[in-house]
Amino acid sequence: MNDFHYKNGTLHCEDLALSTIAKKVGTPFFAYSHANLLRQIHAYQEAFSAVPHLIAFAVKANSNIAVLRLFGREGGGADIVSGGELHRALVAGIDPKRIVFAGVGKTTAEMKDALKAGILMFNIESAQELAALDACAKSLQMIAPVALRVNPNVNAQTHPYISTGLKKSKFGIEITQAASQYYIAMGLSNIKIVGIHSHIGSQLTQISPFVDTLTRVYELIKALRLEDVCIDHWDIGGGLGIVYNDEQPPSQKEIANALLPLLKKSGCQIILEPGRSMVGNAGTLVTRVIYTKKGEAKNFVVVDAGMNDLSRPSLYQAYHEIRPVVEKERIQEVVDVVGPICESGDFLAQDRKLGQVEADELLAVMSAGAYAFSMSSNYNSRPRPPEVLVRGKEFEVIRKRETLEDLLRGEQIPGYLQEGDLSL
């Protein structure tokens, strides 16, 4: 089912015209489809129903508390990488026993907050982190449940910036060193080993890297169990890709069918941490054309959303489909769709074939539900746009548009710079 479709010549999210939302909240804005979000978590739950499992949504993909609340109410959990994401997950009502904490740079304060909250487990990524967590748990007179993140040295065949499972990656403990780190963990008085973790990257479009990774990790699980290392939870990561342009990623069911024979043999509770595949195609960024600009070398469409709102094209040279909100016959031309940011790298599309548009028209930048608002910034002192959640014919603002006052929150002018004091 396509939750973004043209009806009576206007692009809709579910049963609501995007132009109607634009009239009420202005542009730019992010719109998410409630039906699409529900469908994705249900697809994962059904695909992996043959094994005990937890769908721990990767909060970094889209951290809005309404989105987290929706997944939590459907039995989902949270894969977090910071104290801020822990706070968001808890505020959204996610059971701490469905929260796993990953990331290479957990601070002492973050560890203590997570221990006090009672999360399911920490995914540990280095020997020093393991020792630091043991010390934190000891200071609180608590026991920290851990899994070690194993780096299997598998090529995820994705963009280098989002490939995380090779030897040169900052993530995880090399698989050849993992057993020795587990033995060290067994000797720590405030550490309890509960599982194992791996994650090799994002926007994966082939099954073979998943299979290769889990095959290697399962051999390690068997070897560890022979040494009485308890592995009850197997966090198999996430990273399943979506369709941005012409990709053909496998479905949740296809991935599950390839992995289930191995997962069943393990006897573990399986934890998955999907992000992009849960929210990516559930969202769009709607922007308004400010100007069109003809040049000898390039034609430009200047819009009111920029790289501060959606950084993926500038950061990864990523493709996002762009559709006019009003569907009609148009002369096609090749353009760069650019934003108002004072950077040459500020673009949403380059050398894109697009129907001619005019100033004040609306464009929808598709597949903007993941790594869009969550990576946005206030660069050029631009307030960030609102987020809305569409359900049928209605929508709710789930994050208000920032104001100019919001831009200044937390800042202050020192007394010696106040009016009338010009001395150095």
Let me know whether 26 and 70 are in one domain: no
Residue with tokens 């650019």: 338
**Last residue of one domain, picked from the residues 279, 300, 329:** 279
Let me know whether 232 and 316 are in one domain: no
Give the domain CATH number at 323. 2.40.37.10
Pairing of strands 322-324, 269-272: unpaired
**Last residue of one domain, picked from the residues 279, 310, 335:** 279
Residue 414: inside a domain: no
**pLDDT of amino acid 420:** 67
Exposure string of 44-66, with b = 16+ CB inside 10 Å and e = fewer, is bbebbeebebbbbbbbbbbbbbb
Q: Which H/E stretch holds residue 12?
A: strand 10-13
pLDDT average, residue stretch 96-109 = 96
Per residue in 161-218, pLDDT (tens digit) is: 444 444 556 777 888 888 899 999 999 999 999 999 998 877 888 888 888 889 999 9
pLDDT average, residue stretch 9-29 = 98
109 CA to centre of own chain: 23
Let me know whether 47 and 171 are in one domain: yes
Strands (E), 163-207: 173-174, 191-197
Does residue 159 surpass a pLDDT of 60?
no
Let me know whether 215 and 130 are in one domain: yes
Per residue in 353-397, pLDDT (tens digit) is: 999 999 999 999 999 999 999 999 999 999 999 999 999 999 999
Q: What span, in angstroms and rounded, lies between the C-alpha atoms of 360 and 372?
A: 23
Does residue 401 surpass a pLDDT of 60?
yes
Let me know whether 58 and 99 are in one domain: yes
Residue 416: inside a domain: no
**pLDDT of amino acid 167:** 52
Residue with tokens 């920290």: 144
Let me know whether 252 and 307 are in one domain: no
Cβ pair 301, 335 in contact under 8 A: yes
Residue 91: inside a domain: yes
Let me know whether 294 and 145 are in one domain: no
Q: Which H/E stretch holds residue 332?
A: strand 332-338
The full 3-state SS of 85-145, as one line of letters, equals HHHHHHHCCCCHHHEEECCCCCCHHHHHHHHHHCCCEEEECCHHHHHHHHHHHHHCCCCEE
Let me know whether 272 and 291 are in one domain: no
**pLDDT of amino acid 169:** 65
Query: Helix 252-266 to helix 34-47 angle, to the nearest 10 degrees?
Result: 40
Give the domain CATH number at 41. 3.20.20.10
Q: Please tell me which of 151-155, 156-160, 322-326 the model is most confident about, judged by mean pLDDT.
A: 322-326
Quick check: is 230 catalytic? Answer: no
Exposure string of 277-316, with b = 16+ CB inside 10 Å and e = fewer, is bbbbbbbbbbbbbbebeeeeeebebbbbbbbbbbbbbbee
Count of structural domains, the chain: 2
Per residue in 327-355, pLDDT (tens digit) is: 999 999 999 999 999 999 999 999 999 99
Structure tokens at 266: 């393990």
Does residue 405 surpass a pLDDT of 70?
yes
Is pTM beyond 0.85 here?
Answer: yes
**pLDDT of amino acid 1:** 63
Let me know whether 332 and 401 are in one domain: yes
Q: pLDDT over 70 for what percent of the chain?
A: 95
Q: What span, in angstroms and rounded, lies between the C-alpha atoms of 343 and 347?
A: 9
Q: Which H/E stretch holds residue 213?
A: helix 208-226
- Annotated catalytic residue within 136, 230, 268, 342: 342
CA distances from 144 to 81, 130, 136, 188, 324 (A): 16, 10, 9, 10, 52
Residue 209: inside a domain: yes
Let me know whether 16 and 39 are in one domain: no
Residue 401: inside a domain: yes
Let me know whether 307 and 275 are in one domain: no
**pLDDT of amino acid 212:** 87
The amino acid present at 303, given as its one-letter code, is V
pLDDT average, residue stretch 284-305 = 96
**pLDDT of amino acid 208:** 86
Residue 417: inside a domain: no
Let me know whether 12 and 59 are in one domain: no
Residue 424: inside a domain: no
The domain of 193 spans 33-279
79 CA to centre of own chain: 10
**pLDDT of amino acid 200:** 81
**Last residue of one domain, picked from the residues 279, 302, 324:** 279
Residue 9: inside a domain: yes
Query: At 423, is the pLDDT very low, low, confident or very high (cuts 50, 70, 90)?
Result: low
Higher-pLDDT residue of 420, 269: 269
